[in-house]
Structure 1
């Protein structure tokens, strides 16, 4: 099959060209006729070739013309909340991605996932492989997540949890449920860029509150509550993205008091919880899931390909979110949930996370040292996690540096992609797990000197 694909791609086989007969191709490739039949069937299913009864197989429709713009990175995109996502998700295999938000594939528990997949395929009931899942999500996974939350001090029952496809879907459902176009939502400044992208899609008014190493600036937080009367506040309490900061107890207590006084609902994205060496305070823990909703997923620690997250909140809200989920998405991903459940309970996850935390600590120290050698200073030294939020030397614009680096196939994460007020033009977020290649720092240095 690969031979035919290559010949079509090189235009040595053009639309309408007749392919060798099954017998002739089998003899040429020294394989069985059944192998050729299977290969031709797959090519036909892809639309690459078509069969004419009595005449043989022929190359199908004309290929789309090659476009240079589709081969290389897009340098013309604006530095906005979509910048990092566009560049990282569309990056080719030859590109380096110190600006992306996930771990390298070789850092993930691939063998554990393979074992889980093999076990599911071998033993699962037919319905697991073919039927819709419950809109609430797999009961056994909800039980496991509730138990894990209780262990972290967050009293939770399985009926307070809704399994979602991801953290992003969780946040999307909550925005559909809680806000209307034009409502005001508070976020940290800087914050995870996809918070801004999603809120833009929901036509919300976004107000940023400056972040300190201990949490949001409480004086400005209180001022924003009085001036804008927001409906929601969306945050990471532990290992905040992009800064790596963790909420301190005194700030957490005062923040919840302000939220109660102003009728504010808090969505706490806790996707980085398992990266911590020692858990930081959680708003959900202090609040008891009354006005704080917790969302998380396994994309950072298990697999971004296996889409599985969750919402934990008040029971009556979960019931309403289930109805919304049916309307918007119909059901949960049953197979994904089974895979996550198996991977989390096969005994290897704890060892994987212990090794991962140690590996990230080494990468954090090494990356910080290399960046400081270029005059790039971390805003703080995170206690754990994968991100460093850094200020570039005076006079440098992170957006321009990122564009120059992109031209050399290195994806960086400029600060204003994370800032609702656009006050971080000289900052960048670095993923320390993606900074092992020396080329990252060589390209970065050239891009900075070109300013």
Structure 2
């Protein structure tokens, strides 16, 4: 809270609050700050205090003023660049070592998704966080995980697993279990087509670094996973956003992209798409694969939510038979985020190239956790755990949807899976700032668009939005915003 009697002025306190949130990326680059009048009303201070606050943020290089449009959070990459340029002006031309020191550590590109990622590690007030991207940790607790690790931590086995690198492609037992799992989903594959990775995001990175070069065009669903936009951008790819609808991606847009830009890759979430919850229809899947063969691009299917989805749901890789498609999944969402076990299944002709990329990046992956996971799968523990989680999620979704509707929200997509795609009727960037003051971290719709376009939508986690208290606060803040 702002305190009048504090050693700092109100403007200094407010500027420090904004600065902390900007530096920690809880407020993403490009976000518009409240107008002077709005901010004064929200914080209970005078407009002159807000003007002084924004002047301080301008002086720190954290925001920029756009004439007749307001104040926007600057890219921290640009802030660092400005500082480096200022430092360079004071350095002698022949002092190259000092110049290198002044410019080292600068990010290559902005990472707007940092606001969402940091929410995984940020806990304002100890409340369940609506913008959270995973199951709450207490939902994942089990006895069998510790039993699995203990099984491989005895004497000679632990020594063997600790003092030697694991198999380059991953633990053979785990790859056999994964092949059986994929065959049950309709994918005809073998352990030789599977490579384990340090989580599903690492699998996506291995694919990108193997198949793409800086400047290549990549099609990605929009709205889509903010981290994927940022990751591809950081690698120098040119992103082509493809609108995602109830049945799948907009195939007409994809066809046009193929004619104009000859993209190399399409990244898709077929089942329980993040953030909408949509699932791919058979007709869209067939036409999409026809486009891939016709225009010679590969498809990466991110099936991160596989374990909370029915097995009969359409998977592109099952229809394609791993010809032009690569399957990616992992266990951070369902079982053990800290184990960091993911994997990919690829066409035979790509396996060695993908494995080389993995070896260059991580050598091998931790054999201890891979063996423990293989045991959890073989004993049926993972299957039973997933079923319990699905049942609990179904119950949570029902409660969350009822509360959201009562609070005046409208679902832009039928509620399914882990996330809800909710229309609030107000700018969710501004809403997120207001709710952060109340101790709640939101996932505004702009984070799920490649160009961070303003949006009235937000993604909610059904597990963490079951409490009436959150929706009451939300309704109050939204009502205040609507009145202005």
Q: Shorter-normalised TM-score: what interval?
A: 0.7 to 0.9
Alpha-carbon shift at residue 76 of structure 1 (Å): 4.2
1:198 partnered with 2:231: yes
Partner of 1:135: 168
Would you say 1:279 and 2:309 are equivalent positions? Answer: no
Q: CA deviation at 1:91?
A: 3.0
C-alpha displacement of 1:163: 0.4
Quote the Cα distance in structure 2 between the aligned partners of 1:367 and 1:279.
26
Q: Deviation of residue 170 (structure 1)?
A: 0.6
Find the counterpart in structure 2 of residue 238 from structure 1.
271
Superposed counterparts of 1:299-378, under 5 Å: 299-378=332-411
* Structure 1 residue 136, shift from structure 2 partner: 0.6
TM-score (normalised: structure 1):
0.80
- Return the offset for 1:317: 1.2
Q: Does 1:108 align with 2:59?
A: no
* 2:26–2:115 Cα contact (<8 Å) kept: no
Question: Residue 129 of structure 2 aligns with which residue?
Answer: 97
Q: In the TM superposition, what is the alpha-carbon distance from 1:92 to its structure 2 partner?
A: 5.2
Please tell me whether the aligned partners of residues 149 and 369 of structure 2 are also in contact (alpha carbons under 8 angstroms). no
CA distance in 2, matches of 1:398, 1:92: 19
Partner of 1:432: 462
Q: Quick check: 1:185–1:233 contact (8 Å CA) kept in 2?
A: yes
Distance 2:362 2:25 in 1: 32
Distance 1:148 1:139, change over 3 A: same
* In 1: Cα distance, 2:476 partner to 2:164 partner: 54
| Match 2:203 to one of 163, 170, 180 | 170
Give the stretch that moved more between structures: 407-416 or 162-171. Answer: 407-416
Match of 2:427 in 1: 397
Q: Which residue does 2:299 correspond to in 1?
A: 266
Secondary structure of 1:250's partner? helix
Secondary structure at 1:404 match in 2: helix
Aligned-CA RMSD value: 2.0
Counterpart position of 1:59: none
Alpha-carbon distance between aligned partners in 2 of 1:116 and 1:139, rounded to the nearest angstrom: 17
Post-superposition offset of 1:423: 4.5
Shift of 1:114: 1.5
Aligned to 1:39: none
Q: Work out which of the residue numbers 280, 287, 291 in structure 1 matches 2:324.
A: 291
In the aligned structure 1, how far is the partner of 2:231 from the partner of 2:476? 34
Q: Which residue of 1 aligns with 2:475?
A: 445
* Match among 12, 20, 28 for residue 77 of structure 1: 28
How far residue 87 of structure 1 moved from its aligned partner, in angstroms, is 2.6
Distance 2:316 2:430 in 1: 37
Q: Deviation digits for residues 160-209 of structure 1, max 9, x if unmatched?
A: 00000111111111111111111110011101111111101111111111
In structure 1, distance between residues paired with 2:135 and 2:291: 36
Query: Which has the higher mean CA deviation after the structures are superposed, 142-151 or 114-123?
Result: 114-123
SS at match of 1:180: coil
Match of 2:246 in 1: 213
Q: C-alpha displacement at 1:278, in angstroms?
A: 5.0
Work out which of the residue numbers 215, 218, 221 in structure 2 matches 1:182. 215
Which stretch has the larger CA shift, 272-281 or 295-304?
272-281
Separation in structure 1 between the aligned mates of residue 113 and residue 479 of structure 2, nearest angstrom = 26
Q: 1:74: how far off? A: 5.8
Instruction: For residue 153 of structure 2, give the secondary structure of its aligned residue in structure 1.
Output: helix
Asked if the contact 1:73/1:87 (under 8 Å) is kept, the reply is no
Q: Deviations over 1:285-304 (max 9, x none)?
A: 11111110000000111111
Q: CA deviation at 1:440?
A: 2.2
Cα deviation for residue 439 of structure 1 reads 3.1
Residues 102 and 76 (structure 1 numbering): CA distance in 2 closer, same or farther, change over 3 Å?
A: closer
SS for the counterpart of 2:257 is: helix
Match of 1:380 in 2: 413
TM-score (norm 2): 0.75
The 2-side partners of 1:249 and 1:171 are apart by: 24
Shift of the 306–125 alpha-carbon distance from structure 1 to 2, 3 Å rule, reads closer
- The match for 1:63 is none
Q: Displacement of 1:438 after TM fit?
A: 3.0
Question: How many residues are matched?
Answer: 382
Instruction: Specify the alignment match of 1:86 in structure 2.
Output: 118
CA deviations 1:370-426 (Å, max 9, x no partner) are 1111221112224x4211111112xx1011111111122211100110112445611
Distance 1:342 1:443, change over 3 A: farther
Residue 102 of structure 2 corresponds to none
How far, CA to CA, are the matches of 1:426 and 1:70 in structure 2?
25
CA contact (8 A) 1:88 1:97 kept: no
Q: Cα deviations across residues 332-351 of structure 1 (Å, max 9, x unaligned)?
A: 11122122212222332222
